[in-house]
């Protein structure tokens, strides 16, 4: 429930606000150790549990991280800048480059991957125009950077469209899915992305190694061919502390 005008903020929130302001002012640099709960409690005249709750707020905001046996530190991970326009340009994947190369100067790795022929979820089957007997190729991956899981992704494509191609294998080759679709005569020419924020499911939090109290960004991208047909739907779940969404375009 939002605070009423003039209402006093909870003590743990005031402590978290003070620490956040100190981080933003540069009093604590990335990688610096923050005061522990046993130091914060007497400093603010609160219980240790209250101080612990304040530190948890910073961790849920992506500003701090715990290191087992060492304490709580200012987050040193530099968020990935996801360039939503440039990464989908044809001169990116069409020349054999990964769309991820447009995002960052660091290399993401795929540390979990599976490719299956599945019955698509109803909302996916409806957009792809699949009949009740048609199946989808589902490509599931987990992406990590410097051993930190940052994103889960599942791409769905009509199986009859991609059967026998590299899209049905773990490694799709240079340019990825979109380059292979182009080779099949179904190059994507239009994309639509929908973005929303929510709390992660327990499975998502576990696979991303993050707090269940920190939001994720859910991106659903649909790729369309020249005839307006939806040929791929990709659902991505991003750790909100690991990404900045960057959209740059001319007026």
pLDDT tens, residue by residue, 22-35: 999 999 999 999 99
Is 158 inside a domain boundary? Answer: yes
Is 187 inside a domain boundary? Answer: yes
Identify whether residues 116 and 238 lie together within a single domain. yes
- C-beta of residue 154 within 8 angstroms of C-beta of residue 234: yes
Overall average pLDDT of the 57-83 stretch:
90
Question: Is pLDDT of 140 > 90?
Answer: yes
Identify whether residues 49 and 87 lie together within a single domain. no
What mean pLDDT, rounded, does the chain reach? 91
Quote the pLDDT of residue 7.
56
**Residue closest to 197 by CA, chosen among 245, 249, 230, 148:** 245
Overall average pLDDT of the 109-117 stretch:
95
pLDDT tens, residue by residue, 179-234: 999 999 999 999 999 999 999 999 999 999 998 999 999 999 999 999 999 999 99
Identify whether residues 57 and 132 lie together within a single domain. no
pTM to 2 decimals? 0.85
Is 5 inside a domain boundary? Answer: no
Domain stops at, among 25, 52, 74: 74
- Going through 61-129 in order, the beta strands assigned E by DSSP cover 64-67, 71-74, 80-83, 109-118
Identify whether residues 36 and 146 lie together within a single domain. no
Quote the pLDDT of residue 1.
39
Distances 147 to 49, 79, 81, 151 between C-alpha atoms, Å: 31, 14, 18, 12
Domain stops at, among 29, 44, 74: 74
**Residue closest to 63 by CA, chosen among 34, 103, 106, 104:** 34
Is 163 inside a domain boundary? Answer: yes
Is 2 inside a domain boundary? Answer: no
* Highest mean pLDDT, choosing among 63-72, 93-102, 209-218: 209-218
Angle, to 10 degrees, between the axis of helix 48-60 and the axis of helix 37-44? Answer: 120
Identify whether residues 58 and 134 lie together within a single domain. no
Identify whether residues 54 and 101 lie together within a single domain. no
pLDDT band at 164 (very low <50, low <70, confident <90, very high): very high
CB-based burial label for 202 (10 Å; 0-12, 13-18, 19+): exposed
Quote the pLDDT of residue 69.
85
Cβ within 8 Å of residue 186, ≥6 positions away: 161, 225, 229, 231
Identify whether residues 32 and 103 lie together within a single domain. no
Quote the pLDDT of residue 2.
47
Distance CA 71, CA 35 (A): 8
What's the total number of domains in the chain? 2
Q: Which CATH number do you get for residue 197? A: 3.40.1410.10
Question: Is pLDDT of 15 > 90?
Answer: yes
pLDDT band at 96 (very low <50, low <70, confident <90, very high): confident
Identify whether residues 144 and 214 lie together within a single domain. yes
Quote the pLDDT of residue 151.
96
Print the domain residue range for 21.
Answer: 11-74
Quote the pLDDT of residue 251.
82
Identify whether residues 104 and 216 lie together within a single domain. yes
Identify whether residues 66 and 123 lie together within a single domain. no
Is 178 inside a domain boundary? Answer: yes
Question: Is pLDDT of 21 > 80?
Answer: yes
Token digits of residue 134: 């048609």
Quote the pLDDT of residue 4.
52
Distance CA 213, CA 222 (A): 28
Domain stops at, among 53, 74, 95: 74
Question: 21 φ, ψ to 5°?
Answer: -65, -40
Identify whether residues 124 and 217 lie together within a single domain. yes
Is 15 inside a domain boundary? Answer: yes
Q: Over pLDDT 90: what percentage of the chain?
A: 76
Quote the pLDDT of residue 146.
87
Is 6 inside a domain boundary? Answer: no
Identify whether residues 153 and 101 lie together within a single domain. yes
Q: Which CATH number do you get for residue 70? A: 1.10.10.10
């Amino acid at each position: 429930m939002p605070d009423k005008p003039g209402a006093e903020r909870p003590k743990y929130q005031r402590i978290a606000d003070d620490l956040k302001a100190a981080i933003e002012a540069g009093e604590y640099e990335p990688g610096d150790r923050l005061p522990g709960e046993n130091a914060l409690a007497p400093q603010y005249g609160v219980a240790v549990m209250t101080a612990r709750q304040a530190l948890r707020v910073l961790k849920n905001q992506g500003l701090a991280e715990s290191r087992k046996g060492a304490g709580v530190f200012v987050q040193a991970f530099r968020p990935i800048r996801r360039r939503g326009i440039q990464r989908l340009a044809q001169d990116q994947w069409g020349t054999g480059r990964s769309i991820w190369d447009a995002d960052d100067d660091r290399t993401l790795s795929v540390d979990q991957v599976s490719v299956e022929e599945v019955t698509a979820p109803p909302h996916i089957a409806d957009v792809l125009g699949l009949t009740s007997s048609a199946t989808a190729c589902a490509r599931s991956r987990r992406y990590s950077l410097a051993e930190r899981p940052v994103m889960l992704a599942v791409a769905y494509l009509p199986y009859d469209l991609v059967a026998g191609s590299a899209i049905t294998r773990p490694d799709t080759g240079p340019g990825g899915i979109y380059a292979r679709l182009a080779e099949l005569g179904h190059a994507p020419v239009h994309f639509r992305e929908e973005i929303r924020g929510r709390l992660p499911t327990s499975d998502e939090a576990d696979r991303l190694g993050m707090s269940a109290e920190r939001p994720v960004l859910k991106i659903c991208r649909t790729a369309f061919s020249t005839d307006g047909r939806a040929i791929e739907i990709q659902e991505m779940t991003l750790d909100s502390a690991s990404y900045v969404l960057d959209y740059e375009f001319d007026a």
